[in-house]
């Protein structure tokens, strides 16, 4: 399947690059003289990005990769991962408490 630019479309490149599943390819962009890029229309439409909306831009350390995200989407991402960290903290605390419980002798002794 070819996209508008004639490049093979990659519906989900997450597995191929070791990134999380769900990374979709929307085409390529050209950086203008002032550093501007145009986000492909289908990506803007699917994500509900409106003219004038501010996005957060991150660079992956150690890689030449940029990530753009809507602010509200990043807030939801953080809230979800903070909850996962809290669950992990509670699990570790419970494991530490369990390791300090005295071992009860078996009833056959």
Count CB-CB contacts under 10 A for residue 29: 12
In 6-86 the beta strands, taken as DSSP E runs, fall at 55-60, 65-70
Whether 4 has a pLDDT exceeding 90, the answer reads no
In this prediction the pTM is 0.59
Sorted by where each begins, the domain ranges of the chain are 1-53
- Each residue's pLDDT tens digit, 52-94: 999 999 998 888 888 899 999 999 999 999 999 999 999 999 9
pLDDT for res 7:
45
Q: Which pair of structure tokens corresponds to residue 45?
A: 């439409």
């Amino acid at each position: 399947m070819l996209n508008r630019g004639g490049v093979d479309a990659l519906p989900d490149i997450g597995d191929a690059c070791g990134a999380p599943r769900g990374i979709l390819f929307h085409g390529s962009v050209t950086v203008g003289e002032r550093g501007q890029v145009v986000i492909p229309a289908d990506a803007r439409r699917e994500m509900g990005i409106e003219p004038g909306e501010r996005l957060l831009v991150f660079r992956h350390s150690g890689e030449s990769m940029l990530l753009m995200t809507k602010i509200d989407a990043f807030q939801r991402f953080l809230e979800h991962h903070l909850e996962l960290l809290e669950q992990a903290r509670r699990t570790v605390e419970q494991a530490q408490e369990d390791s300090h419980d005295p071992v009860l002798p078996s009833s056959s002794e």
